[in-house]
Amino acid sequence: MMSSTPSSQVLFHDPQGLQGLKREAIQNPSKALLPVAQQFESVYLQMMLKSMRQAVPEGGLFNEESMKTYRDMMDNQLAVNLAEKGGIGLAKVMVKQLSPAPESAETQALQLSLRQAAVKTPSKTGAVE
């Protein structure tokens, strides 16, 4: 008997999963960042697999249109599974790039001094001549 984990149940053609991801992104963007990045990596891997298949000359015993359809479905699911397991690392890089960087003590001190300077020296407003 095979046990399935929640991550292995994600299907490439699941519109309900996409709707759930959209809701999560609205409610908690930082929590949804990794799944969205994995979706992007999955699409990238799908395109890569499709290009690789097109580079191979067609012919042989299994060259029917129905076989191509099932092969494409398998490639799409393979791309989803690869992205979930780390893939080529694109999702990880995207999360790192898009996550807000923790502010250093220097940056916080600079922001505080700029705020204080703005409070001490109010901007002059008046009629333009």
Does residue 28 carry a pLDDT above 90?
Answer: no
pLDDT at 79: 92
**126 domain residue, yes or no:** no
**125 domain residue, yes or no:** no
Does residue 125 carry a pLDDT above 80?
Answer: no
Q: Which tokens is 40 given?
A: 């992007």
Q: Which tokens is 79 given?
A: 């791309």
Number of C-beta neighbours around residue 2 at 10 A: 4
**1 domain residue, yes or no:** no
pLDDT, the chain, mean: 79
Q: Which tokens is 66 given?
A: 């129905």
Read off the pLDDT of residues 45-102 as tens digits, 9 standing for 90 and up. Answer: 999 999 998 898 877 776 777 788 888 899 999 999 999 898 899 999 999 888 877 7
C-alpha to C-alpha distance for 59 and 71, rounded to whole angstroms: 14
pLDDT at 3: 41
**84 domain residue, yes or no:** yes
9 or 100: which carries more pLDDT confidence?
A: 100
CB 30 within 8 A of CB 72: no
Domain that holds residue 116: 6-120
pLDDT at 120: 67
41 — pLDDT class (breaks 50, 70, 90): very high
Q: Find the angle CA(26)-CA(10)-CA(30) to the nearest 5 degrees.
A: 30
Report how many domains make up the chain: 1
pLDDT at 50: 92
| Single pTM value for the model | 0.63
Residue 2: HSE in the Cβ half-sphere, 13 Å Cα cutoff = 5
**113 domain residue, yes or no:** yes
